Amino acid sequence: MRYLMIDRIDELRKLDYATGTKCISLSDDCFEHHFPGQPVYPGALLIESMAQLGGALLEISLLDEREHRPRCVLSSVKARFRDFVHPGDTLTLRADVVSHHDEDALVRVVVRRGEDRVAEAEIIYVILRVDDDALEASRRQFLDVVTRGTRMVP
For residue 21, what pLDDT is reported? 98
For residues 23-32, average pLDDT: 90
Q: For residues 70 and 129, is the Cβ–Cβ distance under 8 A? A: yes
How many whole angstroms separate alpha carbon 52 and alpha carbon 3?
A: 10
For residue 64, what pLDDT is reported? 83
Residue 1 has pLDDT above 70, yes or no: no
Q: Which CATH number fits domain 8-147: 3.40.50.800, 3.10.129.10, 3.40.50.300, 1.10.10.60?
A: 3.10.129.10
- pTM, two decimals, is 0.95
For residue 43, what pLDDT is reported? 97
For residue 28, what pLDDT is reported? 87
pLDDT bracket for residue 24 (50, 70, 90): very high
The answer to whether 34 is a known catalytic residue is yes
Angle between helices 133-146 and 43-62 (to 10 degrees): 100
pLDDT bracket for residue 67 (50, 70, 90): confident
Given 33, 34, 86, 101, which residue is catalytic? 34
For residues 101-112, average pLDDT: 97
Domain boundaries, the chain: 8-147
Residue 105's DSSP bridge partners are: 100, 125
Range of weakest confidence among 27-31, 59-63, 144-148: 27-31
Residue ranges with strand state E in the chain: 8-13, 17-23, 70-81, 90-100, 104-113, 116-129, 151-152
pLDDT bracket for residue 7 (50, 70, 90): very high
